[in-house]
Structure 1
């Protein structure tokens, strides 16, 4: 079996999905939740700064705040499609051949997330599986394939990201011992050391 080709740092953009409504948190913007003195979106951007060529944030509010933090923000081009809209926006704006996507409410990503996805990818990329199961928003995407697939899915009214990935040639990469977690509820925030609800 052929080994996947290596992917250079210069070929990968980090895309952070931060367009959700945070309904269970009273509308509080997850991107700017403070953990150990650092906003969540800046924590993620800093973590992958040495492994990617740049950062895009999919967000539909507080554009000025992202700009002040030195982050490029892209808005959804379609509405009502959940994370699929964010993937579409990131794919359209990405100028590198590959895109690493992460949801802004991720709590932990382990030490080798991107290296593991690169090492295990197929033609169209790789999606992550942690100890809690498949995590479709944590993925490495070949941008050309992502653009084509999201366009077709949105046109068909199909918004499930796992179904989108099933139509692409993507590997599923299991990250042993890693639990990404998320920040969906007040209990999640307390467990991550975030105060203020």
Structure 2
């Protein structure tokens, strides 16, 4: 049991101990993945046909990110109101799994490493425009000059359902556009360069982390 503090146990290892034996312990934070554990996850994911990439999270720790190529659509409760409730269990197959967002990465380079790891380059993220912003898409002509104002209308939906402000540098340059779409761009997706606004009807894969 003493060796466990080094984080060298991976799933499948057997640890024999006397059930009556007592040991002191001290926990200061959640256990982190060991290098050997992450290497094992990458190998197993590849054998199952999944793309799993390790990247540094916002705390600077190595974390697994896995692409689910199943496509998901956001439920449009109304023309200007999007719901992500069907995404709640999308990553439930992984222990403590949830949908990844730009916020999960240490920096842009770590984010780009995961986004460009496979063929899909657009992924769903739990970002929605506030339903009070009830305006239609603009025409396809010209360029959008209101993206900085539009950004304030979008929120990131956290795991507990609360809303969080999206950092400016998480958006792709000149987005949101709110242009050239059959239905209002009330959601957002992750691209290689950041967030883009997108109609709810667009069906796209997701990235899970755990």
TM-score scaled to structure 1, two decimals?
Answer: 0.25
TM-score scaled to structure 2, two decimals?
Answer: 0.24
**Larger helix percent:** 1
